[in-house]
Structures are given as C-alpha cells and as structure tokens.
Structure 1
C-alpha cells in the first residue's frame, strides 16, 4: 500500500477513536454508494454525523479541510440520502470534516462541525 494510503487509513482510525472519546457511536465506516465513499458515519443523540476525514503529513500546501471539493460534497449528499432512507432513520444529519496533521513530530486533530456550510 502506498504511503499516502497508509496515512489516510491511520487518519481514519484516529478520527474514529476521537469521535468515540467524544461520545459518538460509529455506525459505519467506508460506506460506498455510487461514486461516493463516506469515511465515517457516527451518531450522537439524534444527530447523524457524516464525517469526511482529511489527513496530511504537513500543512505546507494548505489545511487538510481545503482538499474537500464541491463535487465530492455532492456525491456524499447522495450517498447519505440513500443511507438514511435505506435504514429508515429519523435523525438530523450533519456533515463534518475531521482534519488531521500527522507526522513524526505531531498529531493534530480538528473537528469541524457543519463544515459543508462553508462551501455553499
């Protein structure tokens, strides 16, 4: 597996552990629908948090959250609509980004709730 794939998988694991420590229950990981892959679907109370995890080894080229693109958001929204319908869930849905900088010197995790509001 390429180094960037290893880093991405480590980031997703860190994000899941972070969410669990904050009281979330992980419902699904790497849920796929059509062209989308949802990294983490987590629930806390009556909120279904759709988590896009972005992991980088450095912020030299921009913060990790800056790498979420409008087309990706469109695909994620369709996937989540399908997931909620398929499981007949009555919940509020929120789209979050967990941005992680991880290298040998640091691990920094930032949870951006309702992150996609900033892309509209």
Structure 2
C-alpha cells in the first residue's frame, strides 16, 4: 500500500480516538456510498457529525481545510444523505474537517473545523 494511504489511515485512527476523548461516539468509519466515502461518522449529544480527516506532514503546501474541494464536499453530502436515510436520522447534522498535523518532533496535533461546509 502507498505511504500516503498508510498516513491517511493512521490520521483517521488518531482523529477518531481524539474525538472520542472529546465526548463524541463513533458510529461508522469509512462509510461508502457509490464513489463517495465519509471518513468518520460520529454522534455528539443529538448531533450527527460527518468528518473528513486530512493529514498534513507540514503546512508548506496548505492547511487541511483547503484540500476539501467542491467536488469532494458534494460526494460527502451525497453519502451523508444516504446514511441519514438508511438510519432514519431525525436530528441535526454537521459536516466537520479534522486536520491531523505531524510536527518536526513527530508529535501529532489536531485542528478541528466544526461546521466546515454544507
């Protein structure tokens, strides 16, 4: 498997654990519908949160939120609609981005963008 795929999976695992520590409950990871994939689906109180996780080994090429373009957002929203339908969700939803950054010492840091798009 390519190194960027390994980094992406690790970032998703780290982001999932980090969000769980903040009080979120994981419902699904790597949910797929057609060509779309949602990295993490969690609940927080009565809120369903769809999370796109982006790993950056630095910020020289930009920040995580800059890498979720219009096409990617459309795909995530389409998959989210299907998930909501399948699970008969009747409460509020939110779309977040979690940036996972590795600093020079190898430590991981997180930046959470709540309500990043819709």
The one-character-per-residue Cα deviations of 1:43-64 (angstroms, maximum 9, x if unpaired) are 0111001000000111110012
Shift >6 Å, 4+ stretches: none
Cα distance in structure 1, aligned partners of 2:3 and 2:102: 13
* Structure 2 gaps, min length 5: none
1:21 equivalent in structure 2: 21
Cα distance in structure 1, aligned partners of 2:2 and 2:103: 16
1:107 equivalent in structure 2: 108
Cα distance in structure 1, aligned partners of 2:59 and 2:70: 21
Cα distance in structure 2, aligned partners of 1:103 and 1:32: 31
Alignment of 1:1-120 (within 5 A): 1-103=1-103, 105=105, 106-116=107-117
**How many corresponding residue pairs?**
117
Give the aligned CA root-mean-square deviation in angstroms. 1.1
Deviation at 1:34, TM superposition (A): 1.1
Structure 2 length-normalised TM: 0.94
SS of the counterpart of 1:30? strand
Relative to structure 1, is the Cα distance of residues 74 and 95 closer, same or farther in structure 2, using a 3 angstrom cutoff? same
Contact 1:7 1:56 in 2 (8 A): no
SS of the counterpart of 1:53? strand
Cα distance in structure 2, aligned partners of 1:55 and 1:77: 21
